[in-house]
Chain A
Amino acid sequence: MPLLSIKNLSIEFPGRYETDYAVEGVSFDLEPGEILGLVGESGAGKSTIGNGIVKLLSPPGRVSRGEIYLNDSKISDFNDKQILQVRGSRVGFIFQDPMTSLNPLFTVENQLVETITTNLDIGPKEAARIAVDLLDQVGIPEPDIRIKQFPHQFSGGMRQRVVIAIALAGEPELLIADEPTTALDVSVQDQILSLIRKLCHERQVGCLLVTHDMGVIASVTDRVAVMYMGRLVEIGKTREVLTNPQHDYTKSLISAVPRANIKVDRFPLVEYIETTEKGLKHIDVSSHWLGQGDRHEKIENLLEISNLNLSFITRDAILAKNRKYLQATKDVNLVIKAGESFGLVGESGSGKSTIARMVAGLQQPDSGSIKFAGVELVENPDRAAVQKARQEMQMVFQNPYSSLNGRMKVNDIIAEPIRFHKLAPAEQVLHIVGDLLDHVGLGRQMGRRYPHEFSGGQRQRISIARALASRPRLLICDEPTSALDVSVQAQILNLLKDLQDELGLTMLFISHDLPVIRQMCDRVAIMRHGRILETAETERFFEHPQNAYSIELLDLMPRFDVIYENEAAAQP
């Protein structure tokens, strides 16, 4: 008898134009003590299932069809009052962001005791004892002291442990964990996952783990269900699904995960999710406007940065000695050779984006020098030369939803730099824009639309086309794919690689994602607290890191070992 049994579940969101079917005909079972991973990309309906089980759908969403059984009780028929008895006491929830899922005005003890006394028939004294016990079980040291503290006194990982303790407080039969580690650092992620796994096995609690991350699936789940556009496309033992996927979608999803162990030329099989238009005119770069910029003399070092410093004032004061600063970059030196792809890696706050912003002229450094093709960009009185140099470097931004002006048509967005800088005769501009749209895989007829009509990946293509419209020599990519789903990420990375090959672009590629860096970059610099710790050839960096911090980072890098082992076995 399964713990949770979902039969033919459909969930719909009646909308303005049509009803949106978020989940369609999904059926699966979950055994006690088992962890079932629910994986899929954004919009696949995986979180909706989790919320639908306990009727936490945001309006106007509703379960339109299907049955949900929890240990023989048909909870899909429960009314609002009955389902209250299920939430907390029979089904525990772990949410994505531990920063917001705890109430900041109450101590951890308040929140735990409240959950225990509401769900179990226990007095407050006994509940407090159980609470301490629970904290101990989730691995919080000195639980009797820590329990009196407020959520803000805990770190992110510790908070997520508290959330898990609260989820377990009602002694639930089922645990629903919705992206439980997405908001956490890589190092903490691992601990939380093993904790969930341990607790589920010890207490024989079933767990439905919703995630978009194949690495999480590979490391913790027993079985995995793959969702695609509201449907369940594949379900099976995690190892079998990952090593021998049956459905095309699963195959393309797995192939799209950037590999940490070897560099591949392109991501194969990623056309499944968002097919690019077929039959687009592929322009011949050598004869096209795009390839005919000003003839540049050969230059070895396209970008030279030396002793770059920038600090932000974090506390202002009238007296200089009372001011507090945050050193965003400290004596940064780096050289990017023409034609190469240079990676800048580091955790958030390490100063890597700040460097990009200074190179692009969005931020003025305090001191130091940035030389682009021999032209000094910092405090150069020759404004015209700086302006000209800046025009030859373009940027692709992180968030495709905010980097395009929503009030302009795509044609106008891409044409604007060409028209503004008078790079082409007016009558040719629209033709060139069409060619660019074809070239990035969108198709010229898309130019008449507005940005909101496109998906994130398509918008990033528009963003790339816009950057190309100035015929840049240096393309700065600031986390260009971190807001995208993994399969779309693979497509965009493929596109960037192709463009680099064809146009001989030099690329400054910024990312926190080591496997992506490995796939994209020739050389890499690693940053921490505004300093560059190590600069090396990518392959040497990944195989033989020199710096202690690099070694630590590489060690924590999410791996996808199951599949690699299998491939190694397949190639004797």
Chain B
Amino acid sequence: MANGTWQRILESDLVHYYKRDKIAIAASSVFLVLALMALFSPIIAPFNPYDLTQIDLMDSEMPPAWLEGADERFLLGTDDQGRDLWSTILYGMRVSLLIGVCAVLLQAAIGIVIGLVSGYVGGRVDNILMRIADVQLSFSTLMVAIIVLAIVKNAFGGETYSNWAMLILILVIGLAEWPQIARTVRSSVLAEKEKEYVDAAHVMGFGPVRIMFKHILPNCLSPIFVIATVQIANAIITEAALSFLGLGMPVTEPSLGSLISIGKEYLYSGSWWITLIPGFFLIIIVIAINLMGDFLRDVFNPRLYKG
């Protein structure tokens, strides 16, 4: 039984085209390596950047190991507080990925339910939900996030904010971007609900919830996967941008964005690595995710000819 499912996956178009798409293989390998590094950062990293006892301000702004004046303990140098940059990047990637994935899970949960209901019920409900989505989309995510985060920060004070920063970021990014997924789901629901298997389900007397989730939703999954991948990259960028503006993760638990932000003040004093190295990792992660998204879109779109 499990064997059959495995067989089916191995023989699927997805795996077939994956095997012959070098870019997809490269992108997903890079992503996998980075994700594993982030996941196991407590084991891999030589230092724990959250542990204040391991930080010595005397070590601050050490250059990477291959430059003059480097300390061999710090492979990629240190930041302004004397944290090992390599360890901090690993921990920061973990924060960035976690926020990205969780925010998209939240988006997907909201977007799928609203998109399904909107497309399936149609009529007035559809109109209202989609106009709400339009209004939501007409505010830039960054603008909404900045306003919300600034209000929260001022209302509860920096201390409380720092403690809850990750959760708040996930909520803000998740809530701001659900219309992307809702629209995608709605358009596939509109196409699927015209098909006769939905009529057949009606004739057999099934209720609307069962038809929506058991019959229509599984047939809409492909576009959801595609857009979710791209949305993870977007969420990571949004988080980085917010952190760069000082509204994201606090300095004590930096994400890639906060690291870049910390480094920008030292860019002209010669300590370029504090900004550029985390920036490089951010770019690599986002490009890898976007390339995987492109690959999924190509496979799931049957109108593109695949040689």
Contact = CB atoms under 8 A, between A and B. Distances in A.
Contacts of B16: 16
A60 B307 contact: yes
Nearest to A390: B205
A420 B204 contact: yes
Contacts of B305: 59
B297 interface: no
Interface string B200-218: 1111111000100001001
**Most central of A16, A398, A407, A421 by chain B CB within 10 Å:** A407
B196 interface: yes
B257 to A, nearest CB: 39
Interface residue tally on A, bucketed by range: 20 to 34
Given A402-B197, A407-B218, A361 B307 contact: no
A361 B202 contact: yes
B265 interface: no
SS of A interface (majority):
loop
Interface string B170-212: 0000000000000000000000000111011111111000100
Interface string B280-307: 0000000000000000000000000101
Nearest to B306: A16
B219 interface: yes
A405 interface: yes
A404 B202 CA distance: 13
**Most central of B202, B204, B210 by chain A CB within 10 Å:** B204
A406 B192 CA distance: 11
Contacts of A397: 196, 199-200
A550 interface: no
B21 to A, nearest CB: 14
A42 interface: no
Contacts of A393: 203
Contacts of A390: 203, 205
Given A59-B307, A60-B307, A405-B215, A362 B202 contact: yes
Contact of B205 (A357, A405, A420): A420
Nearest to A60: B307
A132 B219 CA distance: 52
Contacts of A60: 307
Contacts of A176: none
B4 interface: yes
Interface string A421-454: 1000000000000000000000000001000000
A408 B200 CA distance: 14
B199 A406 contact: no
Interface string A382-403: 0000010011011101110011
A466 interface: yes
A405 B215 CA distance: 7
Contacts of B210: 420
Nearest to B200: A403
B219 A407 contact: yes
Contacts of A398: 196
Contact of B203 (A395, A404, A406, A408): A395
Contacts of A59: 305, 307
Contacts of B195: 402-403
Interface string A80-124: 000000000000000000000000000000000000000000000
A470 interface: yes
Given A397-B196, A420-B204, 4 more contacts: A391-B204, A393-B203, A407-B219, A470-B205
- 10 shortest interchain CB distances as A-B pairs: A403-B196, A407-B218, A397-B196, A402-B195, A417-B204, A405-B197, A395-B203, A402-B196, A360-B203, A403-B197
